[in-house]
Amino acid sequence: MAKDEVTGRASAAAGGWGALKSVGRHLMGSGAPVAGAKTMLRANQPDGFDCPGCAWGDPEHGSSFEFCENGVKAVAWEATRDRVTPDFFAAHTVAELRGWSDFDLENQGRLTHPMRYDPATDRYEPVAWETAFAEIGAALKALPDPDQAEFYTSGRASNEAAFLYQAFVRLYGTNNFPDCSNMCHEASGVALTGAIGIGKGTVLLEDFELADAIFVVGQNPGTNHPRMLADLRKATARGAQVVAVNPLKEKGLKRFADPQDKVEMMHGGSKPTSTDFLSPRLGGDMALFRGMAKLVFAAEDRARAEGRAPVLDHAFLEAHTEGLEAWRAEVEATGWEQIEAQSGLARAEIARAADVYIAADRVILTWAMGITQHRHSVATIREMANLMFLRGNIGRPGAGLCPVRGHSNVQGDRTMGINEKPSAAFLDAMEGALGVPMPRRHGHNVLGAIGAMLGGSARAFIGLGGNFARATPDSALIAEALTRLDLTVNIATKLNHGHLLTGRQSYILPCLGRTEIDRNAAGNRQMVSVEDSMGMVHGSGGINLPAAPELKSEVAIIAGIAAATVGSEVLDWAALAQDNDAIRDLIARVLPDFGDFNTVLRQPRGFRLRNRAAERIWQTPSGRAVFGTAPLPEATEWQSAQGRDACFVLQTFRSHDQYNTTIYGMDDRYRGVFRERRVIFANPADIAALGLAPGARVALHGLHEDGVARVAEDLRLVAYDIPQGCIAGYYPELNVLVPHGLFGEGSDTPVSKSVLVRMVPA
């Protein structure tokens, strides 16, 4: 058990003194601890800024400390005093910088000036904004086909930036919108749209105070949504059941020491965040839920036979759903042998979860990447929704489905139209508002963009934030493909590896951070808006001076490129660049649920975007909630690995000092790893079976048979409580092993949680 670095005592809890120490270290690291601390007091506050971290919701009546350790890391990382100026680029060639680690690149500080790549010197050099816009516009206009350009979006982009971006790109003539959600919750969007008619969760934060049972599946909130721990421990404290489902016994899923609880901190105390823990094999979650369904149906039959109250919510099922019988037949046809083999759980363990489900009147089911990054993720999420339908656990207080989003506005970006497959209704509304035709041909998601880059048809890449090159699978192939492009443009706050994969023309355009003041034409501080996992849309206004006077907002940069590329006949980009209220008026004209946007956004904590599924109005073709009827996969990757020498199923994930591809530090304190990232977590029995010991160094070889050699070298084995046959390690380092040709059925999401590899001693 990892020791708490402050008390030195073994600590089973997340949070606690370790969190405070980490907060202190990251604020000190920013070079402005006092300013950083002051900034944090405005995080997630009505008149403050939205934490640029994850998309966990903000409580109606929050405390003055509405932030977590990782929120502080995100803000300290942005508010650093370090700067990457033109002098920095003059001192380093791109070739040299390509050899730096992800951490070292971003740790150089905030970008200060627009930069253009000079192939002759292999360096980035300063360029005037207007020159950059004009050259980028000329390059885009020079492409024979707008579909040769890929427009990537990171989930940190605000609603206003995302809406303007999609308007520009559609006026340019394409729907090529690869975005970060393609690699994270796409399967959730696809599955939920099929099941309930909307690709979003149906619960509010307040529902967590009412639920009798909460299932937290394939998620590590201790690192990725830390404020969720407070909601989970409140739930267990009031007697609710919280069942954690994760191959790894993540610390945050067991206990949480709330740094805001003075008594607890004084006594080194903590409270449970779960009441039961199930550790299925990688890719075994669908089988778990299939097994729970079998037991719920069996309980129903017993109740009927014994004349007791039904277990199923027949009123809900009859009034609101379709496909129950077909699914039940599928469930009954699935044998326990297959369920236990795929889940890696004994029937008795599954029965524990089913009993909790049946005993609870109101149930919430939350999930994240542990569910969405498999081949059969869409089918798994349909199976989870099916189970929730059985007892009407949707569309009523304390019950519902909750995909917990990673990036603070990834859900908002999709709502704003960042979608390669836009609905006809959305395009009609855009045409109505802009008075010109919109491209109707579906475009590229991340998988499509990768294919176009590797195939050579893509000629340009525009990145609105993010680190496409490091977030995507097959990093080696993607890196090579990016350097073959005619144009690469990256809008960013800090330097990252993707910026160094230069095309014939390349630009880095530095933007304001979420904590920084953006003024409108009248000189007033203006706000942007974001949408969290609960569908709450709220305002965010910067409070700090910009890191450099040359910086522009994301909105202003997009407007500058758009004016130079598509002209200002349809939209007055210069005016929109300085007036987020005007952008919101445009959004309100296109998206009916954003009526009177500028008024409702200024309410404290903003407003809830209408979610008809939460009202039991199903926008499915049949107007009913629909049961999925997929069979279990013939074999999971875990099953395919059995009997093959030194073969394992690998999942890639984040360390505790990481946010997506942003590496804040080299520690993973909840898992007992410090000052390194080239590690593999493996079951002690598997390590011994290979004749190795913890600490031994190994290489992993990818086993996907497409003729591409995929190898990750020099990895230290860490003995860990993980199911045998399953191993785990960090991305982006291990994305070299994730084949771009292997992706989720229906979601096109890379299968980063179930990659077949062979372990080879170094």
Q: How far is the CB of 99 from ligand SF4 (least distance, A)?
A: 31
> How far is residue 285's CA from residue 244's CA, in Å, rounded to a whole number?
12
Establish if 19 lies at the interface with ligand SF4 (CB under 6 A).
no
656 or 740: whose CB is closer to ligand SF4? 656
352 or 407: whose CB is closer to ligand SF4? 407
Q: Which of 49, 67, 468, 594 touches ligand SF4 (CB under 6 A)?
A: 67
Burial, 709: exposed, middle or buried (Cβ in 10 Å; 0-12, 13-18, 19+)? exposed
Tokens of 197: 């008619």
71 or 535: whose CB is closer to ligand SF4? 71
Q: Which of residues 268-287 bind ligand SF4 (CB under 6 A)?
A: none
Strands (E), 550-653: 607-608, 625-626, 647-653
31 conformational bin, left if phi > 0, alpha if psi -120 to 50, beta if neither: left
Chain centroid, CA 54 distance in Å: 8
> How far is residue 11's CA from residue 204's CA, in Å, rounded to a whole number?
32
67 or 664: whose CB is closer to ligand SF4? 67
29 or 473: whose CB is closer to ligand SF4? 29
Q: How far is the CB of 656 from ligand SF4 (least distance, A)?
A: 12
57 or 323: whose CB is closer to ligand SF4? 57
Question: How do strand 697-702 and strand 755-761 relate by DSSP bridges?
Answer: antiparallel
Q: Which of residues 383-402 bind ligand SF4 (CB under 6 A)?
A: none
> How far is residue 607's CA from residue 600's CA, in Å, rounded to a whole number?
6
Q: Mark 304-343 with x for binding to ligand SF4 (rule: CB under 6 A) and - for no binding.
A: ----------------------------------------
* The one segment of 53-61, 206-214, 608-616, 646-654 that binds ligand SF4 by CB under 6 A: 53-61
Count the alpha carbons within 13 Å of 749 in the hemisphere toward its beta carbon: 29
Q: Which of 53, 109, 173, 546 touches ligand SF4 (CB under 6 A)?
A: 53
Question: How do strand 662-663 and strand 658-659 relate by DSSP bridges?
Answer: antiparallel
Q: How far is the CB of 66 from ligand SF4 (least distance, A)?
A: 7
Establish if 76 lies at the interface with ligand SF4 (CB under 6 A).
no
53 or 466: whose CB is closer to ligand SF4? 53
Q: How far is the CB of 185 from ligand SF4 (least distance, A)?
A: 15
Q: Which of residues 208-227 bind ligand SF4 (CB under 6 A)?
A: 225-227
Establish if 256 lies at the interface with ligand SF4 (CB under 6 A).
no
653 beta partners: 730
What distances in angstroms separate CA 231 from CA 236, 263, 621, one per listed residue?
Answer: 9, 19, 36
Q: Which of 15, 26, 56, 632 touches ligand SF4 (CB under 6 A)?
A: 56
Q: How far is the CB of 405 from ligand SF4 (least distance, A)?
A: 10
* The one segment of 47-55, 166-174, 182-190, 352-360 that binds ligand SF4 by CB under 6 A: 47-55
In the sheet that holds 123-126, the strands lie side by side as 123-126, 115-118, 505-510, 487-492, 460-464, 149-153
67 or 573: whose CB is closer to ligand SF4? 67
Q: Which of 19, 23, 27, 68 touches ligand SF4 (CB under 6 A)?
A: 68
Q: How far is the CB of 510 from ligand SF4 (least distance, A)?
A: 23
H or E segment at 433?
Answer: helix 424-434
Q: Which of 71, 155, 370, 498 touches ligand SF4 (CB under 6 A)?
A: 71
380 or 660: whose CB is closer to ligand SF4? 660
H or E segment at 565?
Answer: helix 554-566
244 or 288: whose CB is closer to ligand SF4? 244
225 or 362: whose CB is closer to ligand SF4? 225
338 or 409: whose CB is closer to ligand SF4? 409
Q: How far is the CB of 681 from ligand SF4 (least distance, A)?
A: 23
Establish if 54 lies at the interface with ligand SF4 (CB under 6 A).
yes
74 or 97: whose CB is closer to ligand SF4? 74
Residue pair 501/122 in contact (Cβ under 8 Å)? The answer is no
375 or 407: whose CB is closer to ligand SF4? 407
Sign (positive or negative) of CA dihedral 78, 80, 85, 87: negative
Using CB under 6 A as the binding criterion, the count of chain residues that bind ligand SF4 stands at 12
Q: How far is the CB of 73 from ligand SF4 (least distance, A)?
A: 8
Q: How far is the CB of 51 from ligand SF4 (least distance, A)?
A: 3
If you search the block for the tokens 């590496």, which residue do you land on?
663
**CB within 8 Å of 34: residues ≥ 6 apart:** none
> How far is residue 176's CA from residue 179's CA, in Å, rounded to a whole number?
9
76 or 449: whose CB is closer to ligand SF4? 76
Q: How far is the CB of 659 from ligand SF4 (least distance, A)?
A: 8
**CB within 8 Å of 507: residues ≥ 6 apart:** 114, 115, 116, 117, 127, 132, 135, 136, 488, 489, 490
* The one segment of 24-32, 52-60, 595-603, 733-741 that binds ligand SF4 by CB under 6 A: 52-60
Taking the CA atoms of residue 200, residue 205, residue 210 and residue 213 in that order, the dihedral angle to the nearest 10 degrees is 60
Return contacts of 688-693, CB within 8 angstroms, 24+ apart. 690/646, 690/759, 690/761, 691/761, 692/717, 692/761, 693/717
Q: How far is the CB of 83 from ligand SF4 (least distance, A)?
A: 24
> How far is residue 615's CA from residue 514's CA, in Å, rounded to a whole number?
33
Q: How far is the CB of 70 from ligand SF4 (least distance, A)?
A: 4
What distances in angstroms separate CA 433 from CA 598, 632, 735, one per listed residue?
Answer: 17, 45, 41
**CB within 8 Å of 136: residues ≥ 6 apart:** 487, 489, 505, 507, 561, 564, 565
Q: Which of 22, 70, 490, 655 touches ligand SF4 (CB under 6 A)?
A: 70
Q: How far is the CB of 401 from ligand SF4 (least distance, A)?
A: 20
37 or 298: whose CB is closer to ligand SF4? 37
For 393-418, b/e burial (b = at least 16 CB within 10 A) is bbbbebbbbbbbbbbbbbbbbbbbbb
Residue pair 14/504 in contact (Cβ under 8 Å)? The answer is no
* The one segment of 51-59, 173-181, 331-339, 740-748 that binds ligand SF4 by CB under 6 A: 51-59
228 or 477: whose CB is closer to ligand SF4? 228
Looking at residue 613, the DSSP 8-state letter turns out to be: G
What distances in angstroms separate CA 594 from CA 210, 407, 506, 537, 604, one per listed residue?
Answer: 28, 21, 37, 10, 16
* The one segment of 70-78, 131-139, 286-294, 643-651 that binds ligand SF4 by CB under 6 A: 70-78
H or E segment at 480?
Answer: helix 475-482
> How far is residue 472's CA from residue 478's CA, in Å, rounded to a whole number?
8
Chain centroid, CA 93 distance in Å: 32
Q: Which of residues 620-639 bind ligand SF4 (CB under 6 A)?
A: none
Establish if 51 lies at the interface with ligand SF4 (CB under 6 A).
yes
> How far is residue 110's CA from residue 511's CA, in Å, rounded to a whole number?
9
* The one segment of 64-72, 89-97, 662-670, 685-693 that binds ligand SF4 by CB under 6 A: 64-72
405 or 470: whose CB is closer to ligand SF4? 405
Sites of contact with ligand SF4 (CB under 6 A): 51, 53-54, 56, 67-68, 70-71, 74, 225-227
